[in-house]
Structure 1
Amino acid sequence: MSYSLSQLSEILEGRCIGNGDVLIGRVSTPEGASGDSIVVVLDGKVLKDIPGGVSIVGKEEVFSDGRRGISVREPRLAMAVLLGLFQEKATVQAGIDPSAVIHRSAHVDENASIGPLCVLSEGTSVSAGAVLRANVFVGRGVSIGEDSVIEPGVVIYQGCSIGKRALIHGNVVIGADGFGHIPASEGRRVVKVPQIGGVRICDDVEIGANTSIDRGTIGDTVIGEGTKIDNHIQIGHNAFIGKDCLLAAQVGIAGSAVLEDRVVMAARSGVQDHTRVGSDSIVAALGGVTKDLPSGSLVSGFPARNHRSKLRQDAYVARIGDLFDRVKRLERLLSEDS
């Protein structure tokens, strides 16, 4: 489908610059640009790589050389909208594949889609518009909300719930037992603590491939509305993740940790059990949170501490070799004077 430049400017709530009748049929990189494409300019340095006759989207300043396009305040947001417009939509047919195994007590809305070899256990509920791709296992009593998409190989254990418009990528495991054990002592082996809670995934959550979210010991592990979780992440039992959080690859959230709203966890960072991270905080890559953080914190390192302080300390550490050499020279001079 194609849109005129003026139509796109209205959709993006931007200002059309140049011929608004030009038809745009795709979003492209600078290298792959042509007359029917549009390029989102996030960095003015790439302008030199974009042919002059190609439409662009960017902030006002990138149009100083008379280029055609759409001026917007937030180019990254505009990119997201454009990609959604031009993304090829997969055709989904409602119904149940003959190879699926559906318990007689399960409820599947007539407008839901159940793919090959799916298993729906006793008392499960799949709402209108929900899509289960091939080989999805849904445990006893699980509910899946409207328009949610469950990709191949996902396992959802009993007693969990998935909200509306969730997107759960391949091989995610939701609701496996939390890591609850009483350590061994003299004359007694390790004792497993039964995990009788569940997992509650709220509306508009996205969970990346191969992520695991453990069920609560008592009560639920909760993932709040709008939160986006990357691949290969571990979330422990009874953790609470607030609204609109962003968790990058290989993050680890220990049991009963709390992330308030809009927290950003960069790659391979982690939070200790029973620790609270305040709203709007950012934990840098490899950061390890070991104590409560107030709202708006920016921390890095292990143990995680104020990011500016951490950078200053790193700079001091980098100078230790030079300082050692200076001390050795001073000692040598002092010994010669004596």
Structure 2
Amino acid sequence: MPHTIREIATALGAKAEGALDLAVTAASEPQAAGPDDLALAMDPKYADGIAKGQARAALLWPGADWQAMGLQAAIFAPRGRLAMAGLTRLLDAGPDIAPGVHPMAIVDPSARIGAGAAIGPFVVIGRDVVIGANARIASHVSIAEGARIGEDALILQGARICARVTIGNRFICQPGAVIGSDGFSFVTPEKSGVEEIRETLGTRDAITAQSWTRIHSLGAVTIGDDVEIGANVCIDRGTIRDTRIGSGTKLDNLVHIGHNVQIGRDCLLCGQVGIAGSSRIGDRVVMGGQCGVNDNIFVGDDVICGGATKIFTNAPAGRVLLGYPAVKMETHVEMQKALRRLPRLAARVAEIEKALPRPPSED
């Protein structure tokens, strides 16, 4: 669907110049842009690409000389990535899910489906499920008994919403996610090797055979408003209390949230982050890819963790962490500098040892 430069600028709250009635149908990198594309060059380093493409209009940085670039119109974005958020929202048509309930969907008679919902083929909706108005549910999704989903939800192909899960408004769930699976919780009749190691920090007595007894998960998962869940995310339900995800939190693909975990508001957890059971994560916490959090610890508000950071102890609010085990970022940088110096230090020690007199030999 075409949009004029004027419409796009208005949607972004941005300034525009030139032929404001010029229409574009898509966004493109500058060098690949066709005459009906809006070229994206929000930084001067991308300006050379304009001449290599065929764009007539572009999204540019403030003060750019768009006429010298041969363009007919330009939109100016003081903050490029924020403009990208608005532009992509405007241009994204979303998944093709027909309104109403598809005849090949199975909906339990006790389920309540809100007005304006669109439910695709092979969807299974269980007993006493409540789905809010304008929800869009793509094919092969299953929603188990007692689940509650708010308004304007978008749940994509193959997602699994398990029993008694409660989800707020404007929820987005990518394909293959599983929300509300059993927690990974087992116990041994006798003290296990894991318990022994935790107490002794490495020392073991006699090693004996042990078997695992399952602890069932009686809780569920509660998710706030405006939460987004990536592809193949797994969120375990709580043992007794619910696992909780705060409003505004975003989980990337392949994130795993263990049983009983409590995550605050507006957190950002990147790909392959793992949060072990019963940990508490504060508000506005950011974790780079492959971060890990030990069980039963607390990560304070506004903590930022670089990629692959492993947190084994409580993290104070506002701390910036990096490394394995996690330390302050500035400490980790100094440690890495020292590590790189080790070969030279070892060589110097060897030279000093050569210069020292040797101890007398013993007969």
With normalisation by structure 2, the TM-score equals 0.85
1:55 aligns with 2:77: no
Distance 1:61 1:289, change over 3 A: farther
Selected match of 2:155 from 135, 150, 153: 150
Please identify, of 28-37 and 138-147, the stretch whose mean Cα deviation from structure 2 is larger.
28-37
With normalisation by structure 1, the TM-score equals 0.91
| Residue number in structure 1 paired with 2:116 | 111
SS in 1 for 2:349: helix
Check conservation: 1:235, 1:255, Cα contact below 8 A: yes
Please identify, of 223-232 and 26-35, the stretch whose mean Cα deviation from structure 2 is larger.
26-35
Cα distance in 1 for residues equivalent to 2:79 and 2:239: 43
How many residues are aligned here? 337
Check conservation: 1:201, 1:224, Cα contact below 8 A: yes
1:74 aligns with 2:79: yes
Distance 1:74 1:305, change over 3 A: same
SS in 1 for 2:356: helix
Tell me the alpha carbon deviations over residues 205-231 of structure 1, each in whole angstroms, 9 at most, x when there is no partner. Answer: 111111110001111111111211111
> How far 1:293 moved relative to its partner?
1.8
Please identify, of 208-217 and 26-35, the stretch whose mean Cα deviation from structure 2 is larger.
26-35
Check conservation: 1:238, 1:257, Cα contact below 8 A: yes
SS in 2 for 1:225: coil
1:236 aligns with 2:258: yes
Check conservation: 2:262, 2:279, Cα contact below 8 A: yes
1:26 aligns with 2:31: no
Larger radius of gyration: 2
* 1:109-258 to 2 correspondences below 5 Å: 109-185=114-190, 189-258=211-280
> How far 1:104 moved relative to its partner?
2.3
Cα distance in 1 for residues equivalent to 2:66 and 2:130: 56
Distance 1:20 1:315, change over 3 A: same
Distance 1:167 1:308, change over 3 A: same
SS in 2 for 1:31: helix
Tell me the alpha carbon deviations over residues 80-116 of structure 1, each in whole angstroms, 9 at most, x when there is no partner. Answer: 1111212234443332222322222222234222222
Cα distance in 2 for residues equivalent to 1:307 and 1:72: 32
> How far 1:317 moved relative to its partner?
0.5
| Residue number in structure 1 paired with 2:198 | none
SS in 2 for 1:174: strand
Distance 1:280 1:46, change over 3 A: same
Distance 1:328 1:200, change over 3 A: same
Please identify, of 42-51 and 63-72, the stretch whose mean Cα deviation from structure 2 is larger.
63-72
SS in 1 for 2:354: helix
Selected match of 2:97 from 87, 92, 95: 92
SS in 1 for 2:32: coil
Check conservation: 1:40, 1:75, Cα contact below 8 A: no
SS in 2 for 1:51: helix
Check conservation: 2:97, 2:137, Cα contact below 8 A: no
Hey, which bits of structure 1, 4+ residues long, moved more than 6 A?
Answer: none
Task: For 1:109, give the aligned amino acid.
Answer: G
SS in 2 for 1:222: strand
| Residue number in structure 1 paired with 2:355 | 333
Check conservation: 2:29, 2:41, Cα contact below 8 A: no
> How far 1:65 moved relative to its partner?
8.2
SS in 2 for 1:9: helix
Task: For 2:85, give the aligned amino acid.
Answer: A
The RMSD of aligned alpha carbons is: 2.3
SS in 2 for 1:7: helix
Cα distance in 2 for residues equivalent to 1:159 and 1:3: 43
| Residue number in structure 1 paired with 2:337 | 315
Cα distance in 2 for residues equivalent to 1:325 and 1:249: 41
SS in 2 for 1:200: strand
**Tell me, which stretches of 5 or more residues in structure 1 are unaligned?**
none
Tell me the alpha carbon deviations over residues 39-69 of structure 1, each in whole angstroms, 9 at most, x when there is no partner. Answer: 3334422211222864332432544884552
**Tell me, which stretches of 5 or more residues in structure 2 are unaligned?**
191-207
> How far 1:301 moved relative to its partner?
0.5
| Residue number in structure 1 paired with 2:284 | 262
Cα distance in 2 for residues equivalent to 1:62 and 1:320: 49
SS in 2 for 1:319: helix
Please identify, of 19-28 and 215-224, the stretch whose mean Cα deviation from structure 2 is larger.
19-28
